[in-house]
Amino acid sequence: MKSVVHVIILTFLFFSTNATTIRVGNHQLFHTINSALLAASDRDTILVEKNVYFEKNIEITKQIILKGIDYPVLDGEHTYEIISIKADNVVVDGFKLQHSGVSSLVDIAGIKIYNKHNTQIINNILDDTFFGIYSQYGINCIIRNNSLNAHRTEEQQSGNGIHCWKSDSMQIIGNTISGHRDGIYFEFVTHSIIWRNYSFKNLRYGLHFMFSNDDAYVTNRFENNGSGVSVMYSHGVKMFNNYFKENWGDAAYGILLKEISDSYIQGNHFEKNTSGIYMEGAVRIDVTRNTFKNNGWALKIQASCMDIDLHENNFIGNTFDVGTNGSLVLNKFDKNFWDKYEGYDLNKDKIGDVPYRPVSMYSMIVEKYPSAMMLFRSFITSLMDKTEKVIPSLTPENLKDNSPLMKPLPL
């Protein structure tokens, strides 16, 4: 037993005393990061002084901490991947990375993780990179407090800001991303969280999910992107307390849901989007305590959706509250506030005494004939909607809120 204790103590002393700090700078022993990496051992820290470094590609194959002092610049000269991480337990902290290479064949990034665990990429600035931060088979990695900005004008010439592919247990926290194809992209990513990020003015989506299950995105802002968020072919996704604003365009949405199931949309704010939420092939989605304000369509729910539970939401100032393309309704609307509701509350229980039908006749016509928007706010459209309320003919009979609230919820 004593021998085992002695081995443990000796091992602890070895690992605690073997790590060293190596400095890189004009007046240091090492003038380049690559030369310092060659001399470093696992668990060492490399401190890089402020300067501009042209090192082609920095390949990290040891478990080290690479830390910048006052944001030294790593320049990829429009040719190279700047940092390639090929070891576990690596930390990259406090650099400005700029001008990575661009390729249509290889996913070149400012920082790329190659099939490694427990990497931390924190407090960096990435400017004019093809892909910003790229995780390929990354597990339990943290990408936090980075600023990523690109300047491309066409999707095919731009990569994604934070790109995760076949990764697990990722933490994407507190980053600011703009100017990329997609701000954040998840494909085959599981058990991960996206929290407190600001994704704006990206060419396609602020956040894009593909085949990624049991993830959550919470308290993010998606503003003025081609579209806010797209979640496709996934299940078990939690979407809480996010803000979607001014995602405008012919096919722009706050959230696009396509072939998604068993997920939650709660506490979000949708403002000034072409469509707040667009659902196609969505099944078993709980939509509660969200605010839809001043959107074109608050909600577009296609006939292919079923078991959508939409309750306790506020619909305020939207051009159309709900749009659909069919008459079969297999979804539930209950206890929402609709500012267009003209019913009454005789028993003063704060719930309307007559149901509210959020789909107007005019919205059904516009769904089939988009050019009919030219008649918006005309007398004839108002007359059609009033007539439809009295004698329903085109709007789905079962698409109604039987317990509409008389006052908005304090969300």
Q: Write out the residue range of the structural domain in which residue 79 sits.
A: 20-390
Instruction: Tell me the pLDDT tens digit for each residue of 284-323.
Output: 999 999 999 999 899 999 989 999 999 999 999 998 899 8
Question: Does a structural domain hold residue 171?
Answer: yes
Distances (CA, A) of 378 to 9, 335, 360, 374, 387: 84, 31, 14, 9, 15
Question: Does a structural domain hold residue 169?
Answer: yes
User: What share of the chain has pLDDT > 70, as a percent?
Assistant: 86
CATH number at residue 337: 2.160.20
Mean pLDDT for the chain overall? 89
Question: Does a structural domain hold residue 303?
Answer: yes
Question: Does a structural domain hold residue 406?
Answer: no
Question: Does a structural domain hold residue 408?
Answer: no
With a cut of 80, say whether residue 253 has pLDDT above it.
Answer: yes
pTM for the structure as a whole: 0.89
Q: What phi, psi does 388 have (nearest 5°)?
A: -65, -35
What does the H/E/C string look like for the chain? CHHHHHHHHHHHHHHHHHCCEEEECCCCCECCHHHHHHHCCCCCEEEECCCEECCCCEEECCCCEEEECCCCEEECCCCCCCEEECCCCCEEECCEEECCCCCCCCCCEEEEEECCECCEEECCEEECCCEEEEEECCECCEEECCEEECCCCCHHHCCCCEEEECCECCEEECCEEECCCEEEEEECCECCEEECCEEECCCCEEEEEECCCCCEEECCEEECCCEEEEEEEEECCEEECCEEECCCCCCCEEEEEEEEEEEEEECCEEECCCEEEEEECCEEEEEECCEEECCCEEEEECCCCEEEEEECCEEECCCEEEECCCCCCCCEEECCEECCCCCCCCCCCCECCCCECCCCHHHHHHHHCHHHHHHCCCHHHHHHHHHHHHCCCCCCCCCCECCCECCCCCC
> How confident is residue 8, by pLDDT bands cut at 50, 70 and 90?
very low
- The number of distinct structural domains making up the chain is 1
Question: Does a structural domain hold residue 172?
Answer: yes
> In the prediction, which pLDDT does 361 show?
56
Question: Does a structural domain hold residue 411?
Answer: no
Question: Does a structural domain hold residue 195?
Answer: yes
> In the prediction, which pLDDT does 62 show?
97
